[in-house]
Amino acid sequence: MTQKEVLRKLIELLTNELKAFDFTPSYKDQGFIRKTNDAVFLYQFLIYNRTAIKTGAKGFLIEPFIWVNVKGIEKYYKEITLNTIIKNDTDFITIGNSIAGLLSNPDGLYKNRNRSLDLHVFEEKHIVYVAEQLLRQFKDVALPYCLNNATVAMVDKIINSKPEEYKVHTQNDNYRILKGIIAAKLNNNPHLNELVGIYDKQLIERDMLDETKEEMSRLKSILPMIGTNITV
C-alpha cells in the first residue's frame, strides 16, 4: 500500500458518516472540509512512514488534525501577511492542532507536545480499525471543537488568556500573536493595548521571524480600522 492508497481508503470509509455533519471529502487537503458563512473547518489526516521495530514491516502512522479558519479574523490577516504561498481557505488557519495535542493539553496551554494517537496501518485490514477511531475522534473531539470555538469571541479568549503562555490552539507562535491581536480588536477586548505591548516584547524576547515583525508593524497601521465600516 502507498500513502495515497491508505488515504483514499480512509476517506471512502468515512465519507457517508461525515457527510451527515456537512463535511465533504477533499483528497487534495487530505481529509474533510465544511464551509459556513463564518468559518472553514478541515478534519485532516497526516500520514507518516513507519517501520515496526519487531518485524521490520513497513507501514504508516495516521494522525488526525482539526483546523479552523475564522473568516472574520483571516480577512484582516490576509491584508497584512507577507506569505505568498498560502492561498486557499484551508491554508489560513486561525486555531487548531492534532487531536492528540488537544487531548493532551485540555487547559489549552501547550505543555505536552509530540503526542500521538498511535493509529497505525501495517496491513490493509488495519484500515477499518483506524477509520473507526478517526470517526470516534471526529465525534468526540473535532466536531465539538468546531462548534464551540469558531467565533471571534472564543478565539480572543483561548489565544489571549494568559498571553505569556504557549497555546495548543496555535501551533505557530507567529500566528498566535497576530491573530490574537486581530481577535482582541474585533471582540472589543478592553486589554487590547496591554496585549499589543506583551506581544511586542515577545517578538524580541523569543527572537520571532523578521516577517512576523513586519506583519506586526502592518497590523498596527490598520488596527484602528479593524472592525469598522472603513475599508482596510
Per-residue model confidence as pLDDT tens digits over 179-208: 999 999 999 999 999 999 999 999 999 999
Return the pLDDT at 52. Answer: 79
pLDDT of residue 228: 74
Look at residue 227 in the predicted model and tell me its pLDDT: 82
- Contact status, residue 20 vs residue 109, Cβ threshold 8 Å: no
Residues of the chain above pLDDT 70, percent: 98
- Is residue 229 predicted with pLDDT exceeding 70? no
**Mean pLDDT confidence for 90-118:** 96
| Mean pLDDT of the region 104-112 | 95
pLDDT at 53 over 80: no
- As a whole number, mean pLDDT of residues 11-30 equals 97
Q: Which residue has the cell 498566535?
A: 176
pLDDT at 232: 53
Q: What is the mean pLDDT of residues 94-108?
A: 97
Q: What pLDDT score does 54 carry?
A: 76
CB of 152 closer than 8 Å to CB of 73: yes
pLDDT at position 155, please? 98
**Secondary structure (DSSP) of 80-138:** H----S--SGGG--SEEEEHHHHHH-TTSB--S-S----EEESSTTHHHHHHHHHHHHI
Phi, psi of 4 (to 5 degrees): -65, -40
Give Cβ neighbours of residue 130 (< 8 Å, ≥ 6 apart): 10, 62, 119, 120, 121
Whether residue 39 contacts residue 66, with contact meaning beta carbons closer than 8 Å, is answered with no
| CB-side neighbour CA atoms (13 Å) of 209 | 14
**What is the pLDDT at residue 122?**
93
pLDDT at 182: 98
Give 225's contacts (C-beta < 8 A, 6+ positions apart): 231, 232
DSSP string, 43-90: EEEEEEEEE-TTT--EEEEEEEEEEEEEHHHHHHHHHH----S--SGG
Q: Which amino acid is at 186?
A: L
Distance CA 79, CA 1 (A): 43
Q: By the 8 A CB rule, do 131 and 13 touch?
A: yes
Confidence of residue 230 (pLDDT cuts 50, 70, 90): low
What pLDDT band is residue 212 in, cutting at 50, 70 and 90? Answer: very high
Which pLDDT score is estimated for 207?
92
